[in-house]
Structure 1
Amino acid sequence: MIKDSKYRPLFLKGKEGRGNYSVVVVCRNDEETISMNKIKIVLKGCNNFLKGYKFYLFQEENLKEEIVNHLKLKGISYICGVHDLDTLRDKDVIEINPVTCNIRVLYRSNSNDNFLMLTNKCNNNCIMCPDSLSVRTENNNIPLHIIKRHIKLIDKSTTFLCITGGEPTLLRDDFIEIIKYCKEKLPNTKYLLLTNGRIFYYKNFTETFIKNRPKDMVIAIPIHAHEPKLHDYISSIEGSFVQTFYGVKNLLDKGEKIEIRIVVNKLNYNMLKNIAFMINKYFAKVFRVSFMAMEMLGNAVVNNKEIWISFKDVQTELKQAVLLLLKSGIEVKIYNFPLCSLDKSLWSLNVRSISDYKVRYKDKCKDCSVIEKCGGFFNSTINMEDIKVHPVKG
């Protein structure tokens, strides 16, 4: 099993730290190597521009007092023993805790896959969700001032940002404040909002959202079935289909860009064509429809016997649904499927969508001539069964 060559971890761990907890800092490209008494010291400096605060990250595990004195680090915060230090890039935004020596990468400057995580909570409990119920019910909302600081430190030239959760709209007023702040600080960025769409059932909230959102935003909403009973069973919330259906309708009536997402699983794969018919009938002005393979973590693992289905077993139904939508003039994308599991006629619709820190490939995949275009496998999905890969030659 091989990792994507562009792999950059979101979490780094040091060995020893000192100083103040810094919620968001910006990693600057002032790395240097210093030799002292035959000891090579690699350090990377970080600045929090909001405070003029300086922080150092060291590759070495132990900092002797003489080294601290030599570098004039008295009173300056640092973490040493950061072995993945070389994965950080200029203009990355990171969160540092010198007590636990944890470093979390909030924004990767060379990535087109950055996101703002607003909350872990969700008012659905989808049976194929990669988070567990315990994760989604913990009281772990990220404070508003921290999120705004994160946004303020993001490179102004960034092209894309995903806003996600949990269910980000559960923050209500804070959610509106966040998207308004994004509009102010990053006006030229393209946004993707991941939401279950239920809040947009309420027209007053929908109007407030539209008034304050950034100018270029796609709203991605999952629909699990073409009728309430199955959709509500998959979401585990009675009435969620009605709220989601009318949430999509309210947004479309206002001219918003909507992406409908269909997570393909054993419960709904043989109804994909019916879902496509429903979309064509009621949501013909949708911006895009995306079919997505599952990420087998959290609830998905707990319910794997009920929901897991192999890639090859969904191909007939998937192709029928895709062709129906395409013939209606609706854009279609396919996410999280390895290319060799798809009918070749669908390859042009496939998106290399799995985040680089999650994507994996079978060992045989290294001999495939189209691996750079292939979606690969989630690290949590690749061993769900003995998935056969068929490397493309030439």
Structure 2
Amino acid sequence: MIPLVLNAESDAEAPFVTRLASRRSADPRESFCLSSTPTQSLWCGMEGLFTLAHPMDALTGDVVLVDPSARRAERLLRAGSPHNSLLVTEQCDQLCVMCSQPPKKTHRDRFEHFETACRLAEQGSVIGITGGEPTLHMGPLLAMIERLLADRPDLGFHILSNGQHFDAANTARLAGRLRTNIVWGIPLYAADAPLHDHIVGKPGAFERLIASFAHLLVAGARIELRTVMLEDNLDALAGLARFVAHNLPHIEQWSLMGLENIGFARRRWDALHVDLRARFAPVGNALDQASLYGVPVRLFNIPLCHIPPEFRDYAVASISDWKQRFAPACEGCAARANCAGFFEWHPDHLVEKVVPL
């Protein structure tokens, strides 16, 4: 597992963002390495000297947020990684049964640091924005992205949202510069309100979500529809495919996603998890329905050997590199490079049930 938070020591008076470089440069936003061992590196920048509990070679090019009082550094943007995301809040107004990031009541406003980090991002980066629910802070969020795109139009953003906070007031704003540079990843778990509302733990969520989709459609927003496959909604997936085809034909992609064994899902795993090796038929039916109606659909977070051969072309190597793992038996698999593998915290007894291709 790739560490995203490192022990750090700094005499700076406040948290700061910097990009790590192997040698001194003319850019004052960069810090350069003075020395490095296999376990620690010493850096120098505008905020003075600081140490990170990681070697230089693994950090060069990263954009980090150093917090002196907490004695830690967050690797906000890792060099060369397509899986960078910023956790902008841990607040949320839903309580999904399988939530991987259980919400908190408090909010730490770090938009200033995140904006600085994005300005230091590699050319053409697509940066994830996640939570909690980012649109609970819609104003600061959109303002940050608008400022960034004014100077860095090469950047793209993939924002995960529960879709509860879009209305006519922000339609025009979303239809402007933001339209082409943002993809909204929005979950829909069933075609009927009671089941969707049950899964997200919020009465009325389905109705509000459908209203939000209408506003996003008017804005011409780019949407990735996301559905986590659970015991609760497995048999409803084919119906959801037809609903999407008839009511949300403008989406860019429908992502059917395997369950992550973390957060709320960990203690409810036996009740929520579906072993797709034995019960893929409802998923296959949904994929067939989506394809029949022209809905672009993909499978996320599922190892290729757990998918019947005729459906493997739908699969995406989707799990972020920092939390991805494979079974020892996967070493000799010819399909490993194109496989999602497993989440780092997937149950060991299930990880071992692989069949190299």
| TM-score, normalised via structure 1 length | 0.82
Deviation at 1:205, TM superposition (A): 2.4
Q: How many matched pairs?
A: 356
1:387–1:236 CA distance, 2 compared to 1 (3 A)? farther
**Match status 1:101 vs 2:71:** yes
Residue equivalent to 1:151: 118
Deviation at 1:326, TM superposition (A): 1.0
Residue equivalent to 2:28: 49
1:367–1:76 CA distance, 2 compared to 1 (3 A)? same
**Match status 1:78 vs 2:57:** no
Unpaired stretches in structure 2, ≥5 consecutive residues: none
Segment of structure 1 superposing worse, 98-107 or 165-174: 98-107
Superposition map of 1:350-389 within 5 A: 350-383=315-348, 385=350, 388-389=353-354
Q: Cα RMSD between the aligned structures? A: 2.8
Structure 1 contact 25–47 (Cα < 8 Å) conserved: no
SS at match of 1:291: strand
Higher RCO (C-alpha under 8 Å, 6+ residues apart): 1
Q: Which amino acid aligns with 2:270?
A: K
SS at match of 1:142: coil
1 CA distance for matches of 2:259 and 2:307?
15
1 CA distance for matches of 2:109 and 2:99?
21
Residue equivalent to 1:341: 306
Deviation at 1:203, TM superposition (A): 1.7
Structure 2 contact 21–31 (Cα < 8 Å) conserved: no
Structure 1 contact 46–55 (Cα < 8 Å) conserved: no
Match of 2:37 among 54, 59, 82: 59
1 CA distance for matches of 2:182 and 2:258?
24
Match of 2:106 among 125, 132, 139: 139
Match of 2:289 among 307, 324, 327: 324
1:145–1:48 CA distance, 2 compared to 1 (3 A)? farther
Q: Which amino acid aligns with 1:88?
A: L
1:61–1:391 CA distance, 2 compared to 1 (3 A)? closer
2 CA distance for matches of 1:231 and 1:110?
37
Unpaired stretches in structure 1, ≥5 consecutive residues: 1-6, 31-44
1:19–1:286 CA distance, 2 compared to 1 (3 A)? closer
1 CA distance for matches of 2:69 and 2:13?
8
Residue equivalent to 1:123: 93
**Match status 1:160 vs 2:129:** no
Percent identity over the alignment is 24
**Match status 1:239 vs 2:204:** yes
Structure of higher CA gyration radius: 1
Residue equivalent to 2:238: 273
Structure 1 contact 203–250 (Cα < 8 Å) conserved: yes
| TM-score, normalised via structure 2 length | 0.90
1:57–1:137 CA distance, 2 compared to 1 (3 A)? farther
Structure 1 contact 26–48 (Cα < 8 Å) conserved: no
Residue equivalent to 1:42: none
1:187–1:389 CA distance, 2 compared to 1 (3 A)? same
For residues 280-311 of structure 1, what are the alpha-carbon distances to aligned partners after superposition, in whole Å with 9 as ceiling and x for unaligned? Answer: 11112221111000111111112223212213
For residues 190-246 of structure 1, what are the alpha-carbon distances to aligned partners after superposition, in whole Å with 9 as ceiling and x for unaligned? Answer: 32221111112x221233333352533221110011101010110001111111122
Structure 1 contact 225–271 (Cα < 8 Å) conserved: yes
